[in-house]
Amino acid sequence: MPIYPYNQRTALILDLKERYDHNMQEHFKNNEALSLEAFRDMDYTAIEKYQLPIELMMENAGLQLARIVTRNAREDSIICIGAGNGNNGGGGLVAARRLSGWGYQVYLDLPVEITKPLPKKQLQRALLFGAKQAVPDHTDIWVDAYLGFSQRLPLSREFTKAVQRANASGAKLIALDIPTGISSNTYQPRFLADQVLTLAAPKKILNVLPKSTEIFVADIGIPREMYEHYKIPSPDFSKHQIL
Ligand SMILES: NC(=O)C1=CN([C@@H]2O[C@H](COP(=O)(O)OP(=O)(O)OC[C@H]3O[C@@H](n4cnc5c(N)ncnc54)[C@H](O)[C@@H]3O)[C@@H](O)[C@H]2O)[C@@H](O)CC1
Ligand SMILES: [K+]
């Protein structure tokens, strides 16, 4: 996607926000969002029934995440991507690679060691593309790919610290799938996302976020039949991959 001049980028974001206002809030109101259990099951079915390897869906997720980051970025923006040792982190690391490949300055905040094979491979690739493993002094955009739908609360000390540092950074905060630490308990530390890019379908848990949080849904290639199975409307990704 080309890097738009500031005004055009703002128009793009407003266009997305408008679609969110009309679409996503309706989904929540009509109870058409997925529970995290249903989303986990959708994920499993995509892998088993439709032969979609997780790496392929992760590539789609990371590309959409990178695209939403560029909509908030200038050419010289400093981008910090926080990644954990799971598939949420893997998606963040794909975004780090794509953004580095497009010429952005990308830093990686890794609160825990990345040891699982797929996230580890994504980390190697991101580093080869020029992402740096360090937290910069100043950050314009901070991405939360620390933890996704397998997160348990309370957060460990490492993730609590990471989330608090991101929240205090003054950066634009963008979460992948669901914010780390999300819960209806407002005392629980969580990543205070300005934007959430959730995968495949709106999630019920996002309903606890303040109305000011913009929620977008990204296409990761799930077939229409699966939305019918879960009795939720299939987002029309045919013209836009982020709604
Ligand atoms: N089709 C899909 O559903 C896809 C899902 N993807 C991503 O995969 C995510 C789920 O990935 P995973 O199941 O690997 O798990 P997560 O990435 O959510 O979590 C990773 C690991 O962190 C550890 N952890 C959990 N809670 C913790 C805590 N409180 N403190 C410290 N460590 C903790 C656990 O060992 C967990 O397995 C989704 O949210 C989504 O972002 C995409 O990457 C690919 C496609
Ligand atoms: K996240």
Q: Where are the domains of the chain?
A: 6-229
Any atom of ligand 1 within 6 Å of the Cβ of 232 = no
Ligand 1 centroid, distance to 110 Cα (angstroms) = 14
- Supply the pLDDT for residue 30: 53
- Supply the pLDDT for residue 243: 84
Any atom of ligand 1 within 6 Å of the Cβ of 235 = no
| Atom 20 (ligand 1) nearest CA | 86
Any atom of ligand 1 within 6 Å of the Cβ of 199 = yes
Residues 199 and 219: their CA atoms lie apart, in Å, by 7
Residue 78 belongs to what H/E stretch?
strand 78-83
Annotated binding residue at 117?
Answer: no
| Atom 31 (ligand 1) nearest CA | 156
Residues 69 and 63: their CA atoms lie apart, in Å, by 10
Whether residue 176 contacts residue 88, with contact meaning beta carbons closer than 8 Å, is answered with: yes
- Supply the pLDDT for residue 175: 98
CATH class for the domain made up of 6-229: alpha beta
Q: Which of 149, 153, 155 to mutate to test the pocket of ligand 1 (most atoms within 8 A of CB)?
A: 149
pLDDT tens by residue, 8-61: 333 334 344 444 444 455 555 555 688 888 888 888 887 888 888 999 999 999
Residues near ion ligand 2 (CB < 5 Å) are 144, 175-176, 180
ipTM comes to 0.96
Annotated binding residue at 150?
Answer: yes
Ligand 2 centroid, distance to 101 Cα (angstroms) = 22
Any atom of ligand 1 within 6 Å of the Cβ of 133 = no
Task: State the pTM of this model.
Answer: 0.88
CA within 13 Å, CB half, 72: 22
The strands making up 195-199's β-sheet, listed across from edge to edge, are 105-109, 78-83, 141-145, 172-176, 195-199, 214-218
Digits of tens for pLDDT over the chain (243 positions)?
333 322 233 333 434 444 444 445 555 555 568 888 888 888 888 788 888 899 999 999 999 999 999 999 999 999 999 999 999 999 999 999 999 999 999 999 999 999 999 999 999 999 999 999 999 999 999 999 999 999 999 999 999 999 999 999 999 999 999 999 999 877 889 999 999 999 998 899 999 999 999 999 999 998 888 888 888 888 888 878 778
For residue 83, what are the β-bridge partners? 145
Residue spans of alpha helices (H) in the chain: 6-29, 36-48, 54-70, 87-101, 117-128, 157-167, 224-229
Q: Which of 42, 94, 120, 151 to mutate to test the pocket of ligand 1 (most atoms within 8 A of CB)?
A: 151
Annotated binding residue at 86?
Answer: no
